Amino acid sequence: MNKIILSFLLSLLATNCIYADSASDANSEIKNAMKLKPNLEAGKKTYELCAACHYNNGWGKEDGSFPVIASQHKSVIIKQLADIRARNRENPTMFPFSGDDILGGPQGIEDVAGYIAALPANPKPGTGDGKQLELGKKLYFEKCVACHGQKGEGDAKNFFPRIQGQHYAYLLRQLQWIRDGRRKNANPTMLALIKDLDDKTLAIIADYISHITVDVISTEKEEKEEK
User: Among 2-10, 26-34, 64-72, 130-138, which window interacts with ligand HEC (CB under 6 A)?
Assistant: 64-72
CA–CA separation, 166 and 209 (whole Å): 8
> 70-109: which residues touch ligand HEC (CB under 6 A)?
77, 79-81, 91, 93-94, 97, 102-103
- C-alpha–C-alpha distance, residues 206 and 166, integer Å: 9
30-49 residues near ligand HEC, rule: CB under 6 A: 46, 49
Candidates 44, 167, 28; CA nearest to 85 is 28
Position 17 contacts ligand HEC (CB under 6 A)? no
Region of residue 64 (left: phi > 0; alpha: psi -120 to 50; beta: else): left
The pattern of x and - marking residues 159 through 198 that bind ligand HEC according to CB under 6 A reads xxx-x-------x--xx---------xxx-xx--xx----
Closest distance to ligand HEC from the beta carbon of 197 (Å): 7
Going from the C-alpha of 5 to that of each of 11, 63, 143, the distances in angstroms are 10, 35, 26
Q: Are 134 and 147 in contact (CB under 8 A)?
A: no
CB count within 10 Å of CB 180 equals 12
What's the min distance (Å) between Cβ of 131 and ligand HEC? Answer: 18
Give the sign of the dihedral formed by CA 84, CA 89, CA 93, CA 96. Answer: positive
Among 31, 54, 74, 167, binds ligand HEC (CB under 6 A): 54
The nearer residue to ligand HEC, 7 or 46, going by C-beta atoms, is 46
Question: Given its phi and psi angles, is residue 55 left (phi above 0), alpha (psi -120 to 50 degrees) or beta?
Answer: left
Residues that bind ligand HEC (CB under 6 A): 46, 49-50, 52-54, 66-67, 69, 77, 79-81, 91, 93-94, 97, 102-103, 112, 143-144, 146-148, 159-161, 163, 171, 174-175, 185-187, 189-190, 193-194, 205
